[in-house]
Amino acid sequence: MSCRLKPITREEHLRFVASRPSVSHLQVPSWGDVKPDWRAESLGWFDEGGELVGAGLVLLRPLPRLKRYLAYLPEGPVIDWSADGLERWLEPMLAHLRGRGAFTVRMGPPVVARRWSAEAVKAAIADPEARRLGDVEATEHEPGADALAERLRRMGWRRTEPGGADGFAAGQPRHVCQVPLAGRSLEQLQNGFNQQWRRNIKKADKAGVKVVRGDQEDLPVFYELYVETARRDRFAPRPLAYFQRMWQALTAEDPDRMRLYLAHHDGEVLAAATMLTVGEHVWYSYGASTGRRREVQPNNALQWRMMCDARELGAAVYDFRGITDTLDEDNHLLGLLRFKVGAGGQAVEYLGEWEYPLNRVLHKAVALYLARR
């Protein structure tokens, strides 16, 4: 099949997203409004009959003082990655973005490579010989993933190492934790939790923790906890304006695209989190909590309410997003891995992010600049 690529409208893009069971929240048109430092464009692939068969949100980040761009398709594009003639999909995209002034194209194929069950991850953490998830035999190997990676290499694409969340070091997690929801009752979901999770949910309920949905006016309450969390966990917080812009952009596109949940106890908000929904996929996006009264287990209560609501929305997957692939006991992120997998989540490895240099001189210069920062 030959593909014709051209820019499409937001409406065309949204209709395509609505026709698919699962598309990343980073590949909906409104995500471009969340990123004002990037210029967003929706691209569409059309078959010979003129039907829209693929779509992608591309973000263009300008180089200072130059009309040249990094082109980035986070967790996209949404095309037929199993197609024999992958070149017919990707070469028109590269040609279009070269015409837009891109010096490098980065993309994140939404293709799963391997999965580890919760039991396999628990055993790996306990294994003193295992240093990373990759050292442990996966529960499932997705057919075709290795062949796809090899095809991309032959076409000139190179896999990147994960970077930061801003600027030219943009990057999405290669490893995530996902809880399957499809066909499972609430009782079956809880039975998939480890003993600590079940105990903590009961503790929160007995202590009187109440989880409620918030709205835009509650974002400053969430943000206060988020800043406290950033200090405790040693990461740089985003500004409040980012979350306000995110709320306005996503909920304008779909009222259920973004939700805010708050865990109350004795008149105080102890934890809060944002949840994103596209089709049958729900993501736990940003979480925040105070160090006070942790014994009433507000975080477990919060996650359980969000999972229940995700299931009610018809979601097939509850996605905890990024996890570390290191199993080192000295790594402070290992506790987060234990928490997420304790909810019965699978560790999932995606194919990763890939780059194609359209201008090798600029590509190399920018890479050297970033390496020295």
Q: Which residue has the tokens 């973005």?
A: 97
Q: What is the pLDDT of residue 367?
A: 77
CB 277 within 8 A of CB 257: yes
CB 245 within 8 A of CB 253: no
Strand runs (DSSP E) across the chain, as ranges? 4-7, 39-46, 52-62, 69-73, 102-107, 112-116, 140-141, 158-159, 175-180, 210-214, 258-265, 268-278, 281-289, 317-322, 346-350, 354-357
Between CA 39 and CA 164 the distance in angstroms is 19
Q: What is the mean pLDDT of residues 1-16?
A: 93
What are the pLDDT digits (tens) for 164-183?
433 334 589 999 999 999 99
Between CA 366 and CA 168 the distance in angstroms is 8
Q: What is the mean pLDDT of residues 25-36?
A: 97
**pLDDT of 350 over the 80 cut:** yes
DSSP secondary structure code for residue 64 in this structure: T
Q: What is the mean pLDDT of residues 88-111?
A: 96
The residue ranking higher by pLDDT, 369 or 97, is: 97
Identify the CA nearest to 118 among candidates 191, 187, 22, 201. 191
Q: What is the pLDDT of residue 166?
A: 33
What are the pLDDT digits (tens) for 104-146?
999 999 999 999 999 999 999 999 889 999 889 999 999 999 9
Beta-strand relationship, 354-357 and 102-107: antiparallel
Distant-in-sequence, close-in-space partners of 217: CB < 8 Å, separation ≥ 6: none
Q: What is the pLDDT of residue 228?
A: 97
Q: What is the pLDDT of residue 168?
A: 38
Q: What is the pLDDT of residue 165?
A: 36
Q: What is the pLDDT of residue 234?
A: 86
**Cβ density class 262-274: b for 16+ within 10 Å, e for less:** bbbbeeebbbbbb
Least confident of 114-123, 221-230, 249-258, 364-373: 364-373
Between CA 38 and CA 70 the distance in angstroms is 9
**pLDDT of 287 over the 80 cut:** yes
What are the pLDDT digits (tens) for 293-318?
989 999 999 999 999 999 999 999 99
DSSP secondary structure code for residue 266 in this structure: T
What are the pLDDT digits (tens) for 268-279?
999 999 999 999
What percentage of the chain exceeds 70 in pLDDT?
Answer: 96
Q: What is the mean pLDDT of residues 229-248?
A: 95
Confidence of residue 329 (pLDDT cuts 50, 70, 90): confident
Confidence of residue 162 (pLDDT cuts 50, 70, 90): low
Q: CA triplet 209, 210, 214: central angle to 5 degrees? A: 135
Neighbours of 322 (CB within 10 A): 17
> Tokens for 197?
């999770």
**pLDDT of 372 over the 90 cut:** no
Q: Look over the chain and give the mean of its residue pLDDT values, rounded to a whole number.
A: 93
Distant-in-sequence, close-in-space partners of 364: CB < 8 Å, separation ≥ 6: 357
Q: What is the pLDDT of residue 361?
A: 85
> Tokens for 354?
């890939």
